[in-house]
Amino acid sequence: MIEWNEKNYHCPVEVSMDMLSGKWKCLMLWHLHDGTKRYKELERIVPGVSQKMLSQQLRELERDGLLIKTIFPEVPPRVEYSLTDLGKSAFPILEMMHRWSVDQLGVLVTSGN
């Protein structure tokens, strides 16, 4: 049995899957690798995500230590999201998924993807 982040797992792969699972998490990490993004930017570049789901998955990524949420004391408040070192370390996994989709599934790549 493995305990991580106050949860029990049977295999290290389970831990990774828990951290990265969710329809939008990998896509958010992919785009945050390009640099810090504001909430509205993420909402625009993650097509089809609801505000509720975007907020929930951003909270989960923050809880798991993959991103940092910075709130600036302005009116209106400015909120920015950026990857932690742990979040950056997941990027090779995302690159492999990208390459696999292109090479093995024949997915066509358009600009910005």
CATH of the domain at 67: 1.10.10.10
Total tally of structural domains belonging to the chain: 1
Q: What is the mean pLDDT of the chain?
A: 92
Q: Percent of the chain beyond pLDDT 90?
A: 80
pLDDT single digits (tens) 78-87:
999 999 999 9
In a domain? residue 8: no
In a domain? residue 18: no
Expressed as residue numbers, the domain containing 100 is: 24-105
In a domain? residue 88: yes
Q: Say if pTM beats, i.e. exceeds, 0.85.
A: yes
Confidence of residue 103 (pLDDT cuts 50, 70, 90): very high
In a domain? residue 46: yes
pLDDT single digits (tens) 60-72:
999 999 999 999 9
Q: Is the pLDDT of residue 113 over 70?
A: no
pLDDT single digits (tens) 27-50:
999 999 999 999 999 999 998 999
In a domain? residue 2: no
In a domain? residue 33: yes
In a domain? residue 17: no
- Rounded CA gap, 74 and 97, in Å? 38
Q: What are the contacts of 87-90 at 24+ separation with CB within 8 A?
A: 87/29, 87/32, 87/61, 88/33, 90/19, 90/20, 90/29, 90/66
In a domain? residue 81: yes
